[in-house]
Structure 1
């Protein structure tokens, strides 16, 4: 008698094929909308869709994060701490490195393809209803980022989750995520970035970002410029909330280098937490962790109850932050970092000096055309022995010849190679780093896309 197993295997293979096909269709449909680099400054579309869905974002508490740098790492850290306590979590971050499903995570794992497709199918009729109304009125339709926010909130409600930790996409006041009201608002360091959309000064940018601070919330504020601090305090007072500020209410007390990361002592809102091993590099990451600890305290006990030290240590030891000063290969050591603005590049430069000791460090640099490449390259010059100028896979990437000309002005012609093809650029950088012997290293940076492309080329696609 013939076994039924081959038929079962064939049916499973056919099902998987159909699933992958449908997933590609859904991803293409989402990607075909207005891109997140061109957002529409309005919450009206998302609010209307959420109302039609029954306001799923109201069915769970939210920890909401904004800032310029450190948002994603801080979001992931808060989520990991809260999850360690036994709560079920939703996490929303952006941008993604390799797969759009990374942005929506349930209990620390990217939403699976079946749930992603089902969520899209569930929300699409409501999205199309609002889009049709918008077209009739001659107004913009739902964007790429907006539909992902709608899907995230719907998936979190359906799971259901005990808490959602949500990173804004851009700004705060009119960011699509702001249809939810955060019980805890977190503001990581604010600096200049996306000035075309958010404003040309840190004050203008802060006015936009502080819009996530809602009545009665606790606001956890990372270390800021005085003008930023003042504007955040003004908003907190307006809405009748409470602010907890780094260096005043919480801080990093001690920081020591450790194998594969660093060891910290953090003064939180409710207790001091010693001997915290964190597998992340750089002083900026220590501050991100301290901010995350304070945010977790604010959510779990109003900032008045200490976290269990063993649970906290376990959570932090399990941390990762893909694409953020991440080692993706050894021999030679290749690091990737998504720094893409002046403040991020400064933090990267300081971390390289602080946490690594390469005899020779070669940079692989691909930067978006709308960024201040001159400032970014000048900042990195002291820590790079040589640079290989290239481009990443985004259409926004600066042409290598133009970026190379800037690099030659800063580094000198003898320290610059221009290799337009990224795989060849990585190979060339590895060759150049070998001139330093076993202590040579390669640093690929300039944008999140650059970090993602190098990760993929080296076979690292988990995130």
Structure 2
């Protein structure tokens, strides 16, 4: 017989089930539904300062680091990131911890009531030949974002670090106020730009950068990560000039005295970017805190980012298992850099699953020197690329490596472990959705990031 259910577990389960049900409405970029929904909720996004983070890669890590730095400066901080690995409430953080079940479930309940009321009103308006207040159902991402803003406002955060979901201009997070409640200039961060989501954002780096840089508010501060493509950087500078913004260009590295965060070399650039963003948010009168920066770097743990979930070499004789949510070519280039800085034990077996809007050829080519075999599978996400298609790509990109197609992510992991043997490494990558599928299967719950 199972034990008693934890307090709030039923409400959280109902909240998660309702959010899951919203997935059927798909991706529908636009801001009007979000504005109307938030107005019905009392505009919680107006109750805290925000650092708005956009980019193709590095967003979640930059958000997580920035929150920790703000906390060490005595600022009550929170975060909103996506996607999650186990529970929707992982997307909302308060002082480095995932949102507690009760306030998250309560926020989702408020959003559900408001969304369903608006949808019912829209149906009645259309039946009466009148213009509805919203142009269709509230999407899953809009609902989660609204709930996050409610949780952050109710928790009394002074500054929230907000990760955009897709692009920027029409992303549901792009409803933050033009001026901060604290009186400072609004801060936006551009972490990277690469070809992604081209069906929504455009098919050039410049077009995608235009969509992302559009989140910069008039008179705001735009923090640019080091190493942006030249075309993307030019677009970002033009946006800043257009709206009278100030540009801060982050360095490539936080400095030699700062340890490498989270064992992955690519996190050094994210740390440098986060430091620049926090400095911009705190203002020129607040000096940097090198001790805090070193402490944050030493304790950084971002789930699914070059994360060793099984160290290997234990009594069970299993391989080392690494989870990394690299999901596009730029992410795989950074992953290759991480492998170079922390050489894995061989053989290394890639366990790969990707979504259908990615370029798996470029992705696999970036880690080809490290891959001794490939196991191909499919995440459960409905936008997944069929495993048979990915296997054909893998055979071309890695022609002299064994490639296996295994249905079911857990069976695929078992196959990869067998190929790697007791002394090898399994690298699970290609999509955070694949990492999430395996994480849920291990029975893991959301955990603290620091």
Secondary structure, counterpart of 1:176 in structure 2: coil
Find out whether 1:193 has 2:175 as its counterpart. Answer: no
Quote the residue 2:306 is aligned against. 325
Would the alpha carbon gap of residues 378 and 309 (structure 1) be closer, same or farther in structure 2, given more than 3 Å must change?
closer
Runs of 4+ in 1 over 6 A off after TM superposition: none
On the 8 A contact 2:252/2:268 being kept in 1, the answer is: no
Report deviation, 1:237.
1.2
CA deviation vs aligned residue, 1:317-354 (integer Å, no higher than 9, x gap):
22111101111102221111111111111111222122
On the 8 A contact 1:40/1:140 being kept in 2, the answer is: no
Which residues in structure 2 correspond to 1:372-411 (within 5 Å)? Answer: 372-411=359-398
Q: Distance in 1 between matches of 2:238 and 2:121?
A: 38
Find out whether 1:113 has 2:116 as its counterpart. Answer: no
Residue among 210, 213, 229 paired with 2:233: 229
What TM-score, normalized to structure 1? 0.86
Secondary structure, counterpart of 2:107 in structure 1: helix
Quote the residue 1:446 is aligned against. 430
CA deviation vs aligned residue, 1:402-458 (integer Å, no higher than 9, x gap):
322222233236522222232232222222222xx63x2111111001122233445
Q: Distance in 2 between matches of 1:427 and 1:124?
A: 40
Find out whether 1:351 has 2:338 as its counterpart. Answer: yes
Q: Distance in 1 between matches of 2:121 and 2:236?
A: 37
Q: Distance in 2 between matches of 1:40 and 1:295?
A: 29
| Structure with greater proportional strand content | 1
Find out whether 1:245 has 2:249 as its counterpart. Answer: yes
CA deviation vs aligned residue, 1:236-283 (integer Å, no higher than 9, x gap):
11211100113xxx331xxxxxxxxxxxx53xxxxxxx5212442333
On the 8 A contact 1:81/1:316 being kept in 2, the answer is: no
On the 8 A contact 1:73/1:321 being kept in 2, the answer is: yes
Would the alpha carbon gap of residues 122 and 452 (structure 1) be closer, same or farther in structure 2, given more than 3 Å must change?
closer
Residue among 349, 352, 358 paired with 1:365: 352
Quote the residue 1:162 is aligned against. 158
On the 8 A contact 2:98/2:446 being kept in 1, the answer is: no
Find out whether 1:140 has 2:136 as its counterpart. Answer: yes
Would the alpha carbon gap of residues 52 and 327 (structure 1) be closer, same or farther in structure 2, given more than 3 Å must change?
same
Q: Distance in 1 between matches of 2:41 and 2:77?
A: 21
Q: Distance in 2 between matches of 1:424 and 1:402?
A: 19
Quote the residue 1:256 is aligned against. none
Q: Distance in 2 between matches of 1:49 and 1:293?
A: 33
Q: Distance in 2 between matches of 1:362 and 1:112?
A: 37
Q: Distance in 2 between matches of 1:107 and 1:229?
A: 32
Q: Distance in 1 between matches of 2:105 and 2:408?
A: 35
Would the alpha carbon gap of residues 35 and 215 (structure 1) be closer, same or farther in structure 2, given more than 3 Å must change?
farther
Quote the residue 1:294 is aligned against. 276
Q: Distance in 1 between matches of 2:73 and 2:374?
A: 45
Quote the residue 2:14 is aligned against. 25
Report deviation, 1:460.
4.4
Q: Distance in 2 between matches of 1:373 and 1:148?
A: 29
Report deviation, 1:357.
4.1
On the 8 A contact 2:262/2:297 being kept in 1, the answer is: no
Higher relative contact order (CA 8 A, sep 6+): 2
On the 8 A contact 1:336/1:455 being kept in 2, the answer is: no
Q: Distance in 1 between matches of 2:365 and 2:440?
A: 28
Q: What stretches of structure 1 of length at least 5 have no aligned partner?
A: 1-9, 253-264, 267-273
Quote the residue 1:255 is aligned against. none
Secondary structure, counterpart of 2:302 in structure 1: coil
Q: Distance in 2 between matches of 1:417 and 1:41?
A: 37
Report deviation, 1:227.
1.2
Quote the residue 1:257 is aligned against. none
Report deviation, 1:296.
1.0
Deviates more, 1:158-167 or 1:132-141: 132-141
What TM-score, normalized to structure 2? 0.88
Q: Distance in 2 between matches of 1:406 and 1:324?
A: 24
Q: Distance in 2 between matches of 1:313 and 1:420?
A: 43
On the 8 A contact 1:45/1:130 being kept in 2, the answer is: no
Quote the residue 2:211 is aligned against. 208
CA deviation vs aligned residue, 1:30-78 (integer Å, no higher than 9, x gap):
2222458x32222111112222333221111111100110001000010
Q: Distance in 2 between matches of 1:88 and 1:286?
A: 24
Find out whether 1:43 has 2:39 as its counterpart. Answer: no
Secondary structure, counterpart of 2:349 in structure 1: strand
